Amino acid sequence: MNAAPPPERASPAGREAPRSSVLVAERLTRRLEGEVPVTLVEEADVQIGRGEFVVIRGPSGSGKSSLLYLLGLLDRPTSGRLLLEGEDTSGFDEDRLADVRLAKLGFVFQFHFLLNEFSALDNVMMPMRRLGRLDADARRERGLRILRDLGLAGHEHKRPSQLSGGQRQRVAIARALANDPVIVLADEPTGALDTKSSGNVRDILRELASGQDRSIIAVTHDLHFASAADRQIEIVDGRIVPTGTMATLEAAAAAAKAAGTQTGAAPAS
């Protein structure tokens, strides 16, 4: 493993000098129409700088994943707009969005989501083959190098079913990096991993941001994971709230709970 332990960054989240933004979301809103309309994300303003490692946190069901899908061009906002490297993506059709995802974005999901019939290397080479920018030899070389950098040397030709959970997640990261994306988006990338593997994945993402000038947006519940980020975005009920709100809420909830047990208000059964 050559991912160096993340250097401690002095600047606290969100308060550093503005870098050039690769991704700018303006008043992003996503509503699901139905019998009972649900607002997943409301008026979210987000700016992601180049090489920035941003973590999205929030209670379960608060809309973290929904926001990530919007930022990753997997979903379209009901209103608001999203600029990727200065380009407004509002008017893009499905195919154009797919092309942008292919060339500029990489995804890592909670469950590795590899294609089970293909080896680790083939999974990593798949986005490169679809993009067709590199020839077969270059693709192979690049795939092997990314896997090696992520500590997967010797596992290139194994199927996902022959790998451990942590290894699979690293293969998924390798695949996300295949086309040298501007932004890597990860939805609870360590959610299914044990402490050791999840520390490993965190270090890798950290290194990607600081070492390769790649922006990382990761959704997480893991406080330890979140502490490695440059900045944290907190979201409650689909709205972005000032950093620290979560801690306040949690403290209040804990206090209420403690008070509840003390007064014996819990329903007797």
Partner 1 sequence: MSLHLDIAFSHLRSRRRQTVVSLLGVVLGVAFFLAVSALMRGSELDLVARLVDTAPHITVYDEYREARPQPARLLWPEGAVAIRGVKPKAERRGIRQYRRKLQTIDAIRGTQAAPVLVSQAIFSFAGRDEAVTLSGIEPARMKGVSTIDEDIVAGSLDAVDTNPNGIIIGRALARKLSLEMGDTVSVVSPTGNVRAMKIVGLFETGNAGYDEGQTFAQLTRVQALMNRPNVANLIVVRMQDAYAARTAAAFIERSLGYKSVSWQEASKDLLDALTVRNVIMYTVVGAILLVACFGIYNVISTVVLEKTRDIAILKSMGFHARDIRLIFVIEGAVIGIGGSLLGMAMGSGMMRAVEQVEIKPPGSTESITLPIYWGIDQFALAAAFAILSAVFAAWLPARKGGRVQPVDILRGAA
**Phi and psi at residue 116, in whole multiples of 5°?**
-65, -25
Is 138 a binder of ligand ATP (CB under 6 A)? no
Is 99 a binder of partner 1 (CB under 8 A)? yes
Residue 23's binding partner among ligand ATP, partner 1, Mg ion, none (Cβ under 5 to 8 angstroms by kind) is none
Residue 63's binding partner among ligand ATP, partner 1, Mg ion, none (Cβ under 5 to 8 angstroms by kind) is ligand ATP
Residue 180 one-letter amino acid: D
Which pairing describes strands 38-49 and 21-32: parallel, antiparallel, or unpaired? antiparallel
Task: Kindly tell me which of 9 and 118 has the beta carbon lying closer to partner 1.
Answer: 118
Is 66 a binder of Mg ion (CB under 5 A)? no
Residue 77's binding partner among ligand ATP, partner 1, Mg ion, none (Cβ under 5 to 8 angstroms by kind) is none
CB of 132 to partner 1, least distance (A): 9
Is 110 a binder of partner 1 (CB under 8 A)? yes
Is 131 a binder of partner 1 (CB under 8 A)? yes
> Can you tell me the distance from the alpha carbon of 143 to that of 240, in angstroms, rounded to the nearest whole number?
37
Residue 92's binding partner among ligand ATP, partner 1, Mg ion, none (Cβ under 5 to 8 angstroms by kind) is none
Can you spell out the DSSP letters for the chain? ---PPPPPP-SPTT-SPP--EEEEEEEEEEEE-SSS-EEEEEEEEEEEETT-EEEEE-STTSSHHHHHHHHTTSS--SEEEEEETTEE-TT--HHHHHHHHHHHEEEE-SS----TTS-HHHHHHHHHHHHT-S-HHHHHHHHHHHHHHTT-TT-TT--GGGS-HHHHHHHHHHHHTTT--SEEEEESTTTTS-HHHHHHHHHHHHHHHHHH--EEEEE---HHHHTTSSEEEEEETTEEE-TTHHHHHHHHHHHHHHHHHHHT-SPP-
Binding mask 25-64 for ligand ATP (x = CB under 6 A): -------x-----x-x-----------------x-xxxxx
Is 62 a binder of Mg ion (CB under 5 A)? no
CB of 221 to ligand ATP, least distance (A): 7
Among 21, 65, 197, 198, binds Mg ion (CB under 5 A): 65
Among 43, 59, 92, 103, binds partner 1 (CB under 8 A): 103
Task: Kindly tell me which of 111 and 145 has the beta carbon lying closer to partner 1.
Answer: 111
Task: Kindly tell me which of 179 and 210 has the beta carbon lying closer to partner 1.
Answer: 179
Q: How many residues does the chain have?
A: 269
Binding site for partner 1 (CB under 8 A): 65, 69, 72, 74-75, 94-95, 98-103, 107, 109-111, 113-118, 122, 126-127, 129-131, 175, 187-188
Binding site for Mg ion (CB under 5 A): 65
